[in-house]
Amino acid sequence: MELLVLIKPVPDPDTRLRPNAAGTALDTDGVKWVLTGYDESAVEQALLLKESAPGSRVRAIAFGPAPRTEEILRSALALGCDTATWVEQPSGLVPDPMLSANALSWACQKTPFDLLVVGKQALDDEAGVVGPAVAERLGVADYGPVVDLRWDPAAGKFNLARAVEGGLERITASGPMVVCLQQAWNDPRTAKLQNVLKARRTTIDKVSWAEVQAGVGPAVPGTRLTSFRLPPPRTGAKMIAFKTPEEAAQQLVRLLREEAKTLP
Amino acid sequence: MSADVLVVIERRGAAPVRAALEATGVARRLAGPSGAGRVTAVLLGTALEASAGTIAGLGVDRVITVSDPRFDTFQTALWAAAVAAIARELSSSVILLAGTNNGRQLAGRIAIRWDAAAVTGIADLSPGAAGEITVTRPVFSGRAFQEVRIGAPRVVLGLRPNAFPIPEASSPPAPIAEHAPLELGPLPSGGAVTGFESAQSGIGPDLSDATVIVSGGRGLKGPENFRLLEELALSLGAAIGASRAVTDSGWRPASFQIGQTGKSVSPQLYIAVGISGAIQHLVGMISSRTIVAINSDPSAPIFKVADYGIAGDLFQIVPALTAEIRRVRGS
């Protein structure tokens, strides 16, 4: 089975978020970029499927600037991906998610695949458009958000479950297809040191921005970031003083009705 | 120039989902008053009459139904092709999608097919001059807000659930017209749906629809004590959620879990009972409008993000709260 997994460098979840000087985007100064969250779950799921179908291979593909994109591809290789493709993003380009989807789809169509796994959204911008957009570009079906995904070797099909409002839909489907994964129903592995060292020496295939533009047409983002701000700091709860549970309940209900106005 | 908005109406059973009603209201806001821009609602599938009737009375200019059993199951490629074809036919400038899992799945696909920009997870928006639309969307699990200005001539907008009010009923209702059968050309075939598992115990609304959520954590001490939350939820018409500690212990199925590895919710009112407030839980509920925390430990981190806190014994506080809510709501 040929598997592709799309990943993206995102700020370490422990990063203290700050707007840049212009107030339009995240200040990336000093940010540590990592493979985590949805993407880490997606890599794990690709590796589990690889292990369940002998002879399978996993290629990790990422679009982004140097050096962070190359670094997370090496993280994916260290975890067990066999090959990696880096779609180079020129410095100064601010990609919107649709532009990223177009760039990634160009890299994906270079090799035939049975299954493409991708997080249902990125941990940072939470757009969630890349998986379905790549699927549309490649002319294959997509499923998401998927919370369970198994290979049935006897039937030669995938069994998956996707979350819908009110429950789970169970689906049997054949590749090639795109699966957009919910985060971490699997338990992502950590890389062994010798594999980290080996991953440093692995050649990463590069796709230049010029090639992408020639392939999918010039990139004209239709959107522009105009502001990035933090929510007003939560100052801590208004603590309700009470002598009896009944008194606490009465005060809370009064505050919810008269002050917060959120009691139905 | 006013927007010409196509809003996609998803249903569950015979009724539109709540998020679709919210989207209908947003569509009107984007298009401006009737006569300025135009709002078209589209429904796909079979037995559409009741839902179409509901939507027709919510301030739209017209309702289009596509009665075709192919749309009774959700296949992204098929739905996206149909919606894009109708938008092209109507020369729409905006396709509006409800804040549902299916809505989120459709955005990128429609945008490619319709050659449009796509912005999802929208919590607020304002139509600007010259046809530009400015939207606000939470990012980084609600730890920051991004403002995006959209200048593209065509855009797919996806909303966050529970971020917008349900529009008032209007009269007379808009006309409802059946669309001619859609010829969509070759499309990738979707898989076969083999089953459906209902996620909830039958009490209250679905987590993603709920405007009030009552959520329980390890402080409940055991699965049997969830009945306290069930009674509170019933008094409020609320859905029940849980922390990861609870679902990992098997006290409640995984579908109840709210947090980084579970569902993200943003109800009007979130009541956290016996939940300490680990960051993994907070990212799933931090964008709730009002947060109430009930916990015996006054130093629990949940009190740092809550609006109202009661440091006390939940086994006494919760029944008292249920009784008080029943009293004031007269039930």
For residue A100, what is the nearest residue in chain B, using CA coordinates? B108
**In a domain? residue B156:** yes
Domain count along chain B: 2
Angstrom distance (rounded) from CA A24 to CA A29: 14
Q: What is the pLDDT of residue B279?
A: 86
Give the phi and the psi of residue A218 in degrees, each rounded to 5.
-65, 145
Instruction: Indicate which of A137, A179, A246, A252 best probes the interface with B, i.e. most B CBs within 10 Å of its own CB.
Output: A252
- Residue-wise pLDDT for B73-95, tens only, equals 999 999 999 999 999 999 999 99
Chain B positions in Cβ-Cβ contact with residue A255 (cut-off 8 Å): 308
A182 or B235: which leads in pLDDT: B235
C-alpha pair distances (Å), A84 with each of A44, A58, B199: 15, 9, 38
Q: What is the pLDDT of residue B20?
A: 96
A128 or B261: which leads in pLDDT: A128
Task: Give yes or no: residues B174 and B251 share one domain.
Answer: no
Chain B positions in Cβ-Cβ contact with residue A124 (cut-off 8 Å): 139-140
Among A201-210, A225-234, B214-223, the range scoring the smallest mean pLDDT is A225-234
Q: What is the pLDDT of residue A163?
A: 83
Count the residues in chain B: 331
Q: What is the pLDDT of residue B200?
A: 56
**In a domain? residue B192:** no
Chain B positions in Cβ-Cβ contact with residue A11 (cut-off 8 Å): 140
B55 or A186: which leads in pLDDT: B55
* N-term to C-term CA, chain B: 50
- Residue-wise pLDDT for B96-121, tens only, equals 999 999 999 999 999 999 999 999 99
Q: What is the pLDDT of residue B15?
A: 93
Report the pLDDT averaged over residues A2-19: 94
CATH number of the domain to which B291 belongs = 3.40.50.1220
Task: Give yes or no: residues B98 and B223 share one domain.
Answer: no
**In a domain? residue B204:** no
Q: What is the pLDDT of residue B331?
A: 62
Angstrom distance (rounded) from CA B21 to CA B14: 14
Q: What is the pLDDT of residue B145?
A: 93
Q: What is the pLDDT of residue A211?
A: 96
* Residue where a domain stops, chosen among B178, B204, B236: B178
Q: What is the pLDDT of residue A206?
A: 97
Task: Give yes or no: residues B223 and B269 share one domain.
Answer: yes
Task: Give yes or no: residues B226 and B299 share one domain.
Answer: yes
Q: What is the pLDDT of residue A92?
A: 83
Chain B positions in Cβ-Cβ contact with residue A158 (cut-off 8 Å): 191
Is it the case that residue B196 has pLDDT exceeding 60? yes
Q: What is the pLDDT of residue B261?
A: 79
Q: At B269, is the pLDDT very low, low, confident or very high (cuts 50, 70, 90)?
A: very high
Contact B10, B72 (CB under 8 A): no
Q: At B203, is the pLDDT very low, low, confident or very high (cuts 50, 70, 90)?
A: low
Task: Give yes or no: residues B261 and B316 share one domain.
Answer: yes
Angstrom distance (rounded) from CA B99 to CA B101: 7
Considering chain A, what percentage of its residues have pLDDT values greater than 90? 81
Q: Which CATH number fits domain A2-216: 3.30.2090.10, 3.90.1170.50, 3.40.190.10, 3.40.50.620?
A: 3.40.50.620
**In a domain? residue B206:** no
Is it the case that residue A219 has pLDDT exceeding 90? no
Question: Inter-chain contact A248–B148, Cβ cutoff 8 Å?
Answer: no
Task: Give yes or no: residues B149 and B257 share one domain.
Answer: no
**In a domain? residue B187:** no
Q: What is the pLDDT of residue B140?
A: 87
Q: Where in the sequence is the domain holding B31, given as residue range(s)? A: 4-178
Is it the case that residue B201 has pLDDT exceeding 90? no
Kindly write down the DSSP assignment for every residue of B127-182, as one continuous string. Answer: E-GGG-EEEEEEETTTTEEEEEEE--SSEEEEEPTTSSPPPPP-SSPPPEEEPPPP
Q: What is the pLDDT of residue B255?
A: 81
Q: At A220, is the pLDDT very low, low, confident or very high (cuts 50, 70, 90)?
A: low
Task: Give yes or no: residues B14 and B162 share one domain.
Answer: yes
Angstrom distance (rounded) from CA A220 to CA A134: 17
Task: Give yes or no: residues B159 and B58 share one domain.
Answer: yes
Report the pLDDT averaged over residues A123-148: 94
A92 or A57: which leads in pLDDT: A57
Is it the case that residue A45 has pLDDT exceeding 70? yes
For the full predicted model, state whether its pTM sits above 0.80: yes
Q: Which of residues 220-259 of B touch A (CB under 8 A)?
A: 236-237, 254-255
Considering chain B, what percentage of its residues have pLDDT values greater than 90? 73
Among A13-22, A202-211, A217-226, the range scoring the smallest mean pLDDT is A217-226
Task: Give yes or no: residues B173 and B226 share one domain.
Answer: no
- Residue-wise pLDDT for B115-167, tens only, equals 999 999 999 998 877 778 999 998 987 789 999 999 999 999 999 988 898 99
Question: Inter-chain contact B191–A141, Cβ cutoff 8 Å?
Answer: yes
Residues 6+ apart with CB under 8 A from B217: B242, B243, B245, B246, B272, B273, B274, B275, B276, B281
**In a domain? residue B205:** no
Task: Give yes or no: residues B323 and B229 share one domain.
Answer: yes
- Residue-wise pLDDT for A68-119, tens only, equals 999 999 999 999 999 999 999 998 888 889 999 999 999 999 989 999 999 9
Report the pLDDT averaged over residues A230-255: 92
**In a domain? residue B325:** yes
Q: At A184, is the pLDDT very low, low, confident or very high (cuts 50, 70, 90)?
A: low
